């Protein structure tokens, strides 16, 4: 038997479309994001999912509600699955961060956001939430709608990458699924990363 965790990025928001860093800002899904959530739900409808969890930020919660409804469930909200708090950088684009905070911007490293969460703080709560899920749903398949930054630190941890290293993989696809399988030896393996094939199958530009 194995335990499967589906880490799912939330649907698109207007800030995603504009390239703005959201952090803890509670930006809702836009219409594209709602379409993406419906496509995601259609894909997962027949998967053996026993529980759906979500960050308590509305973009993740709304995505999870669509998925959970298709499975006749209600998502369980957990603030530990939130995106990283980005402090003064929230609402800015990457170019604005480079312009106004050049001292903290390093393209291949984790940005130290003024008044935001540190890498260590984000990693600690993400691992805490992940550990709770594995313990509570052993030998089951669970889905978690969360955020790109949160997924990134978990994937980096599983791959044993250096801390704070901005690894060369992309999690930009909204509603992308990252599947993690944990065997009897407790070894976590990434089966696929940021899979958005449910959007491609609809033959519409939802990304």
Enzyme catalytic residues: 10, 83
What is the rounded distance in angstroms from the CA atom of residue 199 to the CA atom of residue 196? 6
The structure tokens listed for 149 are 């930054």
Cα–Cα distances in Å, from 204 out to 130, 160, 198?
33, 36, 10
Under 8 Å CB-to-CB from 12, ≥6 apart: which residues?
29, 30, 32, 33, 36, 174, 206, 207
Closest of 127, 86, 133 to residue 110, by C-alpha: 86
| Residue 165, beta-bridge partner list | 109
Task: Assess contact for 126 and 33: CB atoms under 8 A.
Answer: no
Closest of 6, 23, 4, 5 to residue 15, by C-alpha: 23
The structure tokens listed for 202 are 């609809």
Closest of 32, 21, 3, 45 to residue 174, by C-alpha: 32
């Amino acid at each position: 038997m194995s335990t499967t965790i589906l880490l799912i990025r939330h649907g698109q928001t207007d800030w995603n479309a504009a390239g703005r860093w959201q952090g803890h800002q509670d930006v809702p899904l836009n219409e594209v994001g709602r379409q993406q959530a419906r496509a995601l739900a259609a894909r997962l409808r027949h998967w053996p999912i026993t529980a759906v969890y979500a960050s308590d930020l509305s973009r993740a919660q709304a995505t999870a509600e669509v998925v959970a409804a298709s499975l006749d469930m209600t998502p369980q909200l957990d603030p530990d699955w939130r995106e990283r708090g980005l402090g003064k950088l929230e609402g800015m684009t990457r170019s604005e961060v480079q312009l106004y905070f050049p001292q903290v911007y390093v393209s291949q490293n984790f940005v130290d956001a003024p008044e935001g969460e540190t890498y260590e703080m984000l990693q600690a709560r993400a691992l805490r939430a992940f550990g709770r899920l594995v313990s509570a749903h052993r030998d089951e398949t669970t889905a978690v709608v969360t955020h790109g930054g949160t997924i990134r630190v978990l994937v980096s941890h599983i791959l044993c990458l250096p801390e704070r290293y901005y690894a060369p993989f992309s999690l930009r696809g909204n509603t992308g699924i990252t599947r993690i399988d944990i065997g009897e030896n407790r070894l976590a393996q990434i089966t696929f990363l940021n899979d958005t094939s449910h959007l491609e199958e609809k033959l519409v530009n939802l990304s």
